[in-house]
Amino acid sequence: MRTFQFVFLARVGFVLLACSAAMPLRGQTSNVSPPPGSIVVARDGRQMILLPADLAKLPRRDVRVVAEGTGDSATVSGVDLWDVLQAVSVPVAEASGRQRAVMYVRLKGSDGQNAVLALVEVDPGFSRRTVLVASQRNGKLLDESEGPWRVIIPDDLRHARWIRGLVAVEIVTLRP
């Protein structure tokens, strides 16, 4: 398991991911944009940026998928969404099963498309489901219409949650 260090600054909303070329990301109203190919992970009002170099360090995996409505298949390659979440310590290791069961993951694409998954759908302690954050199809980088990152859920019969151009992942806890 790789460890990433975080430096929390005094002001709320500023988090600096201390990795290769770390940069702060200011709140939603900021003019600062993350570098291309980065994924912003948000939880409890805090945002962290995983740079392409950080994502490249995560374990890769290949999955064979079938296109919706056709018999065409392809091999997609990328990283597990669970590994992305673990790289930024979400959820915290101490979170109980009941705490994880009331959390969900909101995925946001560069085109504004969103999808939601229950955290327990991607947590290997609860499910065997694969949720891949893919960067390649049949050995080639995804094109601009799909990438640089695309969420792929191979066992979804409809591909409505296959988010193109993934730019952000938000973890939300339901409140009573």
pTM of this structure = 0.79
Please report where in the chains the tokens 């109980």 appear, as a residue: 96
Tens digit of each residue's pLDDT (9 = 90 or more) over 7-63: 332 222 333 333 333 333 333 334 467 889 999 999 888 899 999 999 999 999 999
pLDDT value for 101: 84
Positive or negative CA dihedral for 153, 158, 160, 162?
positive
Tens digit of each residue's pLDDT (9 = 90 or more) over 106-159: 999 999 999 999 999 999 988 999 999 999 999 999 999 999 999 999 998 889
Cβ within 8 Å of residue 162, ≥6 positions away: 150, 151, 152, 153, 156
Of the candidate ranges 11-20, 90-99, 160-169, the one whose mean pLDDT is the lowest: 11-20
pLDDT value for 19: 34
Model confidence at 172: pLDDT above 80? yes
Q: How far apart are CA 163 and CA 176, in angstroms?
A: 29
Which of the pair, 176 or 164, is modelled with greater confidence? 164
pLDDT value for 93: 65
Q: What is the 3-state secondary structure (H, E, C) of 106-150?
A: EEEECCCCEEEEEHHHHCCCCCCCCCEEEEEECCEECCCCCCCCE
